[in-house]
Amino acid sequence: MNNSNINKSITKKILITGGAGFIGSHVVRYFVNTYPDDLIFNLDALTYAGNLENLKDIQDKSNYKFVKGDITDEAFVNRLFIEYKFDSIIHLAAESHVDRSIKDPLAFAKTNILGTMVLLNAFKALWQHSWEGKRFYHISTDEVYGSLGATGFFTETTAYDPNSPYSASKASSDHFVRAYGETFGMPYVISNCSNNYGPNQFPEKLIPLFINNIINNKPLPVYGDGNYTRDWLYVMDHAVAIDLIYHEGKNGETYNIGGFNEWKNIDLVKLLCKLMDKKLGRAKGTSEKLITFVKDRPGHDLRYAIDATKINKELGWKPSVTFEEGLDKAIDWYLENEEWLTHVTSGEYQKYYNKQYGK
């Protein structure tokens, strides 16, 4: 496999998939602003979780182009690749919500596995005769490693052991990316990241859902006893890590990205309640009264924790904000953008969401 890195001084056509979604939109903005000489293409199907409002501030930049389309549409993807001849791909498009994967596993297999394969095939067809300077970067999740007990960390050599249909679909797409590297010599890199939070996250995930519910005085549904642990990372820190891995990471390698920032769900929810009471000028303890313990998620992974030593040592990355700072910024963003929250939880977005998943 070609082992060269991406040369920053040569103009590239970079395809970012899923760029209208939560993490994707932060990555697109970062690349468009940081690399004005590169052409950044954002391919997104604009499902319920993708929203071009997330990118209003960069939509007119000359090095940015949005393309609406579905990565599972093979004929369309092939045409697109032939037309634009992308040098590299940063692949974020995915169905990402674990609860929905339990309701509709096939949708996750389709987008996450089949969609990844369609992209791999289109990329292979373009460059298989000369991979020099090309790269397929697959953005993945720490959930592929399964669940930890009370101690220990996921490292890059931890065996895959996915438990949910979502994580099984991401594990499978990781394997396909590796297989294309081994079989066809495609230069690739994969990163597996912990839970992200920050602006523009669809309010189906824990933090934005609970912020939205607190604003609207709605119950906060904590699954099971709330003693499940996640490692939280501010989304901009993830975007910076992706930039570093894209440019400096070694082909054929995996990098784990995490915040060394573990929180039990119940402790995180209580912290969120405390901060929200303060921000909203409500009496201490008001939001905590909204906490409601509900039926557990089936197959709920007990604990995720990332050992981010490799990316720190090899690429010099570490999170730039503490959890307190990040959470404070995130809450402020949702409070300042209540219109965004209303928009994504009502009207067309909600109709689409309800029709598909009825939550």
Ligand X SMILES: Cc1cn([C@H]2C[C@H](O)[C@@H](COP(=O)(O)OP(=O)(O)O[C@H]3O[C@H](C)C(=O)[C@H](O)[C@H]3O)O2)c(=O)[nH]c1=O
Residues in the site for ligand X, rule: CB under 6 A?
A: 96-98, 141-143, 194-195, 205-206, 209, 221-223, 228, 230, 265, 297
Question: How many whole angstroms separate alpha carbon 146 and alpha carbon 158?
Answer: 10
Query: Does residue 80 contact residue 70 with C-beta atoms inside 8 Å?
Result: no
Closest CA relative to residue 184, chosen from 130, 112, 119, 139: 130
Is 142 annotated in the active site?
yes
CB of 232 to ligand X, least distance (A): 9
Residue 299 beta carbon to ligand X: minimum distance, rounded to whole angstroms: 11
* Orientation angle between helical segments 115-127 and 165-184, nearest 10 degrees: 10
CB of 85 to ligand X, least distance (A): 31
Question: Closest distance between ligand X and the C-beta of residue 145, in Å?
Answer: 10
User: Which CB sits closer to ligand X, 81 or 202?
Assistant: 202
Nearest distance from C-beta of residue 57 to ligand X, angstroms: 25
Catalytic residue among 38, 95, 143, 301: 143
Q: Tell me the one-letter amino acid at 248.
A: E
Residue at shortest CB range from ligand X:
141
Do β-strands 88-91 and 188-193 pair in parallel, antiparallel, or remain unpaired?
unpaired
Please, which residues have CB within 8 angstroms of residue 10's CB and are 6 or more apart in sequence?
133
CB nearer to ligand X: pick between 195 and 256: 195
- How many Cβ atoms from other residues are within 10 Å of residue 88's Cβ? 21
Catalytic residue, from 87, 142, 262, 301: name it: 142
Q: Which is nearer to ligand X, 91 or 230 (CB)?
A: 230
Residue with Cβ nearer ligand X (86 or 304) = 304
- Tell me the β-bridge partners of 272: none
> Which of 139, 143, 233 shows the shortest CA–CA distance to 189?
139
- CA-CA distance, 355 to 47, in Å (whole number)? 12
Select which of 48, 137, 166, 228 is catalytic: 166
CA distance 119 to 29: 22
Residue 148 CB, shortest distance to ligand X, in Å, is 13
**Residue number, 42 or 164, with CB nearest to ligand X:** 164
* 166 touches 97 (CB < 8 A): yes
Q: For ligand X, which is the closer residue by CB, 229 or 251?
A: 229
- The dihedrals phi and psi of 217, each to the nearest 5 degrees, come to 55, 40
Plot region of 260 (φ>0 → left; ψ -120 to 50 → alpha; else → beta):
left
Residues 154, 279: Cα–Cα separation, whole Å: 35
The set of catalytic residues is: 142-143, 166
